[in-house]
């Protein structure tokens, strides 16, 4: 790398060897390559291990480390973070495809903004389609303080807006867990991902929770120039009804843990 900030790419995966292969291939073809790649796998087969081994043999100038652990997304990420010694940890889901200058654009924010004030930097998922402000869907989600695409700020309900399709480099609160880089020391300061969600799985609010805690003490950024595509692979993904049940089960815990309890926030929460 041609920057003095060291960077680890951390990829968590489960039963998606093809997606993992594509993800790693995007990483090793970066215009600025990472110092190392950590893969934390929770698959039932050895296919992902074989995928990683092939890259390990081919990429002699990047240390690629493979670990196998229990299937819990937050636990996998925490495990990988603890194994990193870099200044910056870039979290990638296995179904993310990053463009060639993604890491270069992420590092540019860390270099050009006051480093000690930064918590994390996220990129631009160019596959996302922003909901038009005049649409009924947007209006309803705004009235009821629900999740939506937007400027990355948190609503009174504690739910977030995801920054996508915005121009330039902007401040944000929410950082998508699928393609965001954090200062490693910040993660240890505010605490790692909360893995007390659903047993044997993950909480849909693990990245919301982490973003909120980081944004209370540091400044987070979004950059349009770090372009990626989140494929949202259906393999090894919970069915939508199960996912919705997970949201209902974990939202109260997240809200009571982080959000200031007052008349306005409780009103927004109950909507």
Q: What is the mean pLDDT of residues 181-202?
A: 84
For the cut 60, the answer to whether the pLDDT of residue 200 exceeds it is no
Interior/surface letters 172-211, b for 16+ CB within 10 angstroms, e for the rest: bbbbbbbbbbbbbebbeebeebbbebeeeebbbbbbbbbb
- Quick one: pLDDT at residue 56? 94
What radius of gyration, in Å, describes the C-alpha atoms of the chain?
Answer: 18
pLDDT at 199 over 60: no
* 78, pLDDT greater than 90: yes
Interval 108-122 mean pLDDT: 97
Listed residue (166, 160, 252, 171) closest to 210, CA to CA: 160
Strand partners, 124: 227
pLDDT of residue 182: 98
Confidence band, pLDDT 50/70/90 cuts, at residue 198:
low
Kindly report, residue by residue over 27-51, the tens digit of the pLDDT.
999 999 999 999 999 999 999 999 9
CB 122 within 8 A of CB 139: no
In this predicted structure, the answer to whether residue 116 has a pLDDT above a threshold of 90 is yes
Residue 1 has pLDDT above 50, yes or no: no
Q: What is the pLDDT of residue 202?
A: 64
Categorize the per-residue pLDDT at 236 as very low, low, confident or very high, splitting at 50, 70 and 90.
low
Nearest one of 183, 182, 204 to 194, comparing CA atoms = 204
- Give the dihedral sign, CA 202/208/211/212: negative
Residue 245 has pLDDT above 90, yes or no: no
- How many angstroms separate the CA atoms of 243 and 204, rounded? 8
**CA–CA distance, 66 with 39 (Å, rounded to integer):** 5
pLDDT surpasses 50 at 2 = no
222 φ/ψ angles, rounded to the nearest 5 degrees: -120, 140
Most confident of 52-61, 70-79, 88-97, 243-252: 88-97
């Amino acid at each position: 790398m041609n920057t003095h900030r060291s960077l680890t790419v951390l990829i968590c995966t489960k039963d998606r060897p093809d997606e993992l292969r594509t993800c790693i291939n995007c990483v090793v073809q970066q215009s600025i390559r990472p110092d190392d790649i950590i893969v934390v796998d929770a698959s039932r087969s050895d296919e992902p291990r074989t995928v990683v081994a092939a890259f390990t043999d081919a990429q002699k100038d990047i240390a690629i480390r493979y670990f196998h652990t229990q299937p819990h997304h937050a636990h996998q990420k925490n495990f990988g973070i603890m194994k990193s010694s870099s200044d910056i940890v870039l979290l990638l889901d296995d179904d993310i495809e990053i463009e060639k200058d993604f890491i270069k654009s992420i590092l540019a924010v860390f270099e050009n903004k006051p480093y000690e004030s930064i918590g994390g930097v996220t990129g631009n998922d160019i596959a996302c389609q922003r909901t038009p402000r005049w649409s009924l869907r947007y209006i309803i989600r705004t009235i009821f303080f629900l999740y939506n695409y937007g400027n990355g700020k948190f609503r009174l309900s504690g739910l977030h807006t995801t920054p996508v399709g915005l121009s330039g480099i902007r401040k944000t609160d929410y950082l998508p867990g699928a393609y965001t880089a954090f200062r490693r020391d910040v993660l240890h300061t505010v605490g790692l991902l909360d893995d007390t969600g659903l047993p044997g799985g993950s909480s849909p609010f693990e990245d919301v929770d982490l973003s909120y805690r980081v944004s209370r003490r540091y400044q987070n950024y979004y950059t349009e120039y770090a372009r990626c595509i989140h494929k949202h692979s259906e393999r090894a993904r919970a069915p939508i009804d199960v996912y919705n049940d997970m949201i209902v089960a974990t939202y109260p815990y997240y809200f009571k843990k982080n959000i200031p309890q007052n008349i306005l926030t409780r009103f927004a929460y109950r909507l």
